[in-house]
Amino acid sequence: MNIENTQSQMRKGVLEYCILAIIRRNEAYPGDIIDEMKNAGLQLLEGTLYPLLNRLKNAEILTYRWVESTSGPPRKYFILTEKGEKFYDLLESTWIELSTGVNVVVNGNYSKEDTVVNDNLNEPNTTEQ
Amino acid sequence: MKKVININFQGQVIAIEETAYELLKQYIDSLKKYFSREEGGEEIVNDIENRIAELFGNRLKLGINCITDEDVQSIISSIGRPEDFDTEYQESVYAYGETPFEQFASTSEQPKSEPDGSERRQTLYRNANDKIIAGVCSGLAHYFKIDPVWMRIVFVVLFSVLFWVYLILWIVLKPKALETNVARRLYRNPNDRFLGGVCGGIAAYFKIDTWIPRLLFAAPLFLNLMGMISIPFFPWNRFFDNVDFNWNINMSVVVIYAVLWVIIPRATTVKQKLEMMGEEEYIKSIRETVSDNVASVKSKTDDGDNYTKPYAATAAVAGDPEKVSLDAMPPEPPRFHAAKASANATAGSGNTGCLNALGILFKIIFFAFAGIFAVVTTGMMIAFLVAGTKFVPLKSLFIDQGYENTLLWLSAGLLFAVPIISIIVWIVRRSMKAKSRPVIGVVSIILWVVGIFSATMLGFKVAEKFSVESSAENVQALSAFSGDKLYVDMAVYPSDYYSFSRNFGPGSDLDNFPYYTINEDSLLFSNIKLQIVQSQDSLYYVRTISSSSERDLKIARKNAGEFTYPLQQQDSLLFLPEFFSAPISQGFRLQGMIVEIAVPLGKKIEIDERLDDYDNFTSNSSVRRKLKKSRNNKTFDWDYGEEYILENGGLNKTVILTDSI
């Protein structure tokens, strides 16, 4: 069993959720997304981000508009579509379900619901070392 | 010490060390390879290039003079090499396809798209991206990794055989948007075109000057015209002296061009131009046009279409093939959304199988009709060709070699070929859903009008040949013989001859057409009118009045005098030849002859039924005048095979049959 493989698998699972969350908050271009992820301590290669965005765009979850930039070529600013919003909601509920379940399982605590909810907030950081 | 070069990268001019440029070039090439199999792969690479350009811009803003190896290295590591994101990629597909999306899809009632394992294998599809009719050729070419144009040429050349193959493949194969998998392709060059850009495209493809293919296409016509224009002082003329307008060669050149025009796609997008010209050349031309006015180009290309963005970053890719091939082929990227189209198709066939079957049924019916139509048209074309060859010897009787011949072919070609070609082009363009190009219509209408014009010219030219009529007269007295009855029989033409009559099926009446002698030196006419008049003395006479039309009275007269009509007399037996003959050089000029037998008073005459083969001759004006001039122009009515006696100023039957017998 390769530890790196498992780690990256863990990360991958939530990647779309994170990206959509960022875009949902604010219209964003890939540079923003990378920075924000980095600030949160989540390492993300641009080579991974671009194809992902492209696929989300092709699935009509995202759309974009061109914005002129002073520092180079025009940028693609991504926005969530209506379909994307629904998609995000589903992801969100899945995530809550998952993180709750994972915490319960990991802590072996089936009764203390409140602690589980608190742990939820730290979840992204705990998967990241 | 390092050399610094300027590159035009995504519309920005960037100073970069040559080694860094090489590094970047290789990197982008590896990205391209990696993303090449994913739907929208070019867009991804383009986006990444954009990003790199931005990072370069940021760096240059800091006051650094040029991009160095280290800069490129750090950018590459921040973006990641294909090897780095490979594993993540696979998993992302897994996660994406299996967990969230599946759920999502089921709620939004989207056809479930699943990672399709079979897609990794090369499968035969119809190409929805690049098609003339249904994308079959293009799909096949994709399968064999060749330029679709070659496949199309094969299908056009072997049309009759491959037509059915095409239909079957059309029905059987699923459509799918396929990306080109060949580096160089033959396109029509919109920037370097005279007609359709075919020559420009060929030149770009083979990396030669445009005038070479153009000359090759124009040479047959040019040589022909040189030969036809008989300018005496033109010294080359003797080389082409007898060159006629060569229909076969010239027309096939035109047809080849038209076919190529149809089957070669026009390079519209930048990517296509890149494939057409090869990257280096294209970069060269881009550099010339773009680099002075970066801003304007950029704003123009910002209109949302990613594919038309200047692809200048490919400068980074142009270059050593060795280096490229040394690169390990990046692992195959997964295709998740690439599967969308086919997933839809499979879902479609699953969910609405009934509708699908109905669609296929319609297709089959449609193509059955199309097939029948194609077979019938082919048959008709062949029939026309065969029939046409029969008319070929006739043509020379009306049309002079050289100028008139050219006019004939020109008008035939323009009048018939232009509408046919334009209809085909229209259908093809419609089925391609190409934008309408009014130029094509205008050009074909002009060509057609030119065809009408030349046909009219030809008509006048031909009509002119019949404008004047002349005749020649010849009187021959028969030697006296014992007895008082002249029996007139036919001397059958002694050898074989070519005949046109009754070869064209029912309804054609070509009996009046002349026949050829076997060695094709004279024309044989049976265009003879036999009549009987009263002789002025006690001798039988045979008077022949030959007549002919021409554009020139002198020639007409000369022609009329050239007829040969030898009479043979054996005592009371007179043989009239089956035909009169004229030299073939005269051509068909309404040649005709009146044979007038003068019978003395009180003498008898019988004309054999075999002479019934003579055609009745409608005399021309000159002949009528001649007949009027003769003092005794009263002709008698008579029948073949009856004995007549000339008495009391009339021709009477010697045996009178009554109805009672």
CB contact under 8 A, A53 and B47: yes
Partners of residue B576 on adjacent β-strands: B490
CB contact under 8 A, B78 and A5: no
Is B143:B124 a contact under the CB 8 Å cutoff?
A: yes
pLDDT of residue B85: 66
Distance CA B590, CA B513 (A): 9
Q: Is B129 exposed, middle or buried (0-12, 13-18, 19+ CB in 10 A)?
A: middle
Contacts of B29 (CB under 8 A, 6+ apart): B316, B317, B324, B327
CB contact under 8 A, A72 and B12: yes
pLDDT < 70: residue spans in chain B: 85-122, 224-249, 279-283, 285-357, 381, 383-396, 433-437, 498-520, 615-620, 629-633, 656-661
Q: Which alpha helices (DSSP H) does B564-656 contain, by range?
A: 621-629
Distance CA B331, CA B328 (A): 9
pLDDT of residue B228: 62
Out of A17, A54, A91, the one facing B44 most closely (by C-beta) is A54
pLDDT of residue B631: 57
Chain position carrying tokens 């907030």:
A121
- Locate B302 and state its tokens: 């910002």
What pTM did the predictor assign? 0.38
- Locate A9 and state its tokens: 């698998």
Distance CA B654, CA B602 (A): 11
Task: Quickly count: other Cβ atoms within 10 Å of residue A88's Cβ.
Answer: 20
- Locate B655 and state its tokens: 């045996």
Residue type, B445: I
Task: Quickly count: other Cβ atoms within 10 Å of residue A46's Cβ.
Answer: 21
CATH classification of A3-127, choosing from 1.10.540.10, 3.40.50.2020, 3.40.640.10, 1.10.10.10?
1.10.10.10
CB contact under 8 A, A48 and B85: yes
Chain position carrying tokens 């915490």:
A103
Among A55, A81, A87, A102, pick the best mutation site for testing chain B contact (most B Cβ within 10 A): A55
Mean pLDDT by 10 residues, chain A (129 residues): 76 84 89 87 83 86 84 84 89 90 82 49 45
Residue type, B212: I
Residue A41's region, left for phi above 0, alpha for psi from -120 to 50, else beta, is left
Is A78:A62 a contact under the CB 8 Å cutoff?
A: yes
pLDDT of residue B465: 82
pLDDT of residue A70: 75
pLDDT of residue B384: 65
At A122, which helix (H) or strand (E)? helix A113-127
Distance CA B660, CA B366 (A): 70
pLDDT of residue B626: 73
Residue of B nearest to A58 (CA): B337
Q: Torsions phi, psi of B370, nearest 5?
A: -60, -40
Among B14, B47, B75, B106, pick the best mutation site for testing chain A contact (most A Cβ within 10 A): B47
Distance CA B226, CA B541 (A): 56
Residue type, A66: W
